[in-house]
């Protein structure tokens, strides 16, 4: 279930968005915008490259990815910037920004912690959530929209079967971010972190809430080439604002969670 359709094409320092990067929020008559998954993906790519340039990158593990989507990114060329704010013995922090027409349109930060360290005691840990197993390998999603869906009706690639009030789960096979590059596990899980909104906000009339941010926390990064899923855990809604949490999982089980804050956007709902 591997897609060959990328979000961007590299043109020197510029990243040119391709068809798959187009957001559905603009609607048929609205402005063409870059979708949040593409923004998160390409910023994670920049942050990871900056972290890998530091000494002993193998000792550090990404544990938090925070993204702010504060301006719409048009379907035009973008660049990324990366700044290492801290490179210590046990903690590293990298800030990145997506720049279009000489102004930032999104920003993010990647926190990395050193692995290892002795502990002697025992600490309470919550039971693992009951996340479903990934979908069967014989399901073949559309290369342009490589998503598999699950609600009360089981896994399928037909999203119209899941326009209901049931709890949702989504699965995202690996897809390229930039043409000619295989995405890392971090880049892929950061990309689909934005799909926590699809998983949690999808109801009978489609997705009527748009997320302004996301925070992804990880205990481990999925292996390169591994698909990633979301399982809706909670959603609280009041007066046009909703907050939601999803569990992120792969073929080996849960690996982290995503928390998002969303705004009602029913006039431009993404229909399914």
Reference 42, options 7, 71, 72, 77; nearest CA is 7
Instruction: List the helix and strand counts (H, then E) for the chain.
Output: 3, 16
| Angle of CA points 93, 108, 257, to nearest 5° | 85
pLDDT at 110 over 90: yes
How confident is the model over 47-66, as pLDDT tens digits? 999 999 999 999 999 999 99
pTM assigned to the model? 0.92
Locate the domains of the chain by residue range: 8-115+138-268
Class of 8-115+138-268 in CATH: mainly beta
Residue with tokens 């989507």, as numbered in its chain:
69
pLDDT at 270 over 60: yes
DSSP 252: T
Assess contact for 51 and 61: CB atoms under 8 A: no
How confident is the model over 176-196, as pLDDT tens digits? 999 999 999 999 999 999 999
Beta strands in 74-175 (DSSP E): 79-87, 91-100, 103-114, 148-151, 154-156, 169-172
């Amino acid at each position: 279930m591997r897609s060959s359709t990328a979000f961007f094409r590299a043109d020197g320092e510029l990243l040119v968005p391709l068809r798959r990067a187009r957001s559905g929020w603009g609607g048929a008559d609205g402005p063409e915008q870059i979708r949040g998954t593409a923004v998160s993906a390409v910023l994670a790519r920049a942050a990871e490259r900056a972290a890998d340039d530091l000494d002993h990158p193998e000792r550090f593990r990404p544990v938090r990815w925070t993204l702010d989507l504060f301006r719409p990114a048009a379907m035009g060329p973008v660049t990324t910037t990366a700044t290492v704010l801290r490179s210590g013995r046990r903690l590293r922090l990298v800030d990145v920004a997506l720049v279009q027409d000489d102004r930032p349109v999104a920003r993010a930060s990647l926190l990395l912690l050193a692995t290892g360290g002795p502990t002697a005691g025992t600490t309470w840990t919550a039971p693992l959530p009951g996340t479903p197993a990934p979908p069967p390998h014989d399901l073949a999603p559309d290369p342009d929209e490589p998503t598999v869906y699950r609600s009360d009706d089981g896994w399928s690639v037909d999203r119209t079967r899941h326009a209901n009030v049931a709890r949702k789960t989504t699965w995202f096979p690996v897809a390229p971010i930039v043409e000619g590059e295989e995405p890392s596990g971090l880049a892929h899980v950061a990309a689909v972190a934005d799909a926590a909104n699809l998983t949690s906000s999808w109801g009978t009339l489609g997705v009527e809430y748009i997320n302004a941010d996301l925070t992804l926390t990880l205990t481990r990064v999925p292996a390169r080439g591994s698909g990633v899923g979301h399982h809706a855990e909670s959603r609280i809604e009041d007066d046009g604002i909703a907050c939601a949490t999803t569990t992120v999982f792969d073929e080996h089980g849960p690996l982290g969670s995503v928390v998002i804050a969303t705004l009602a956007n029913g006039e431009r709902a993404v229909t399914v």
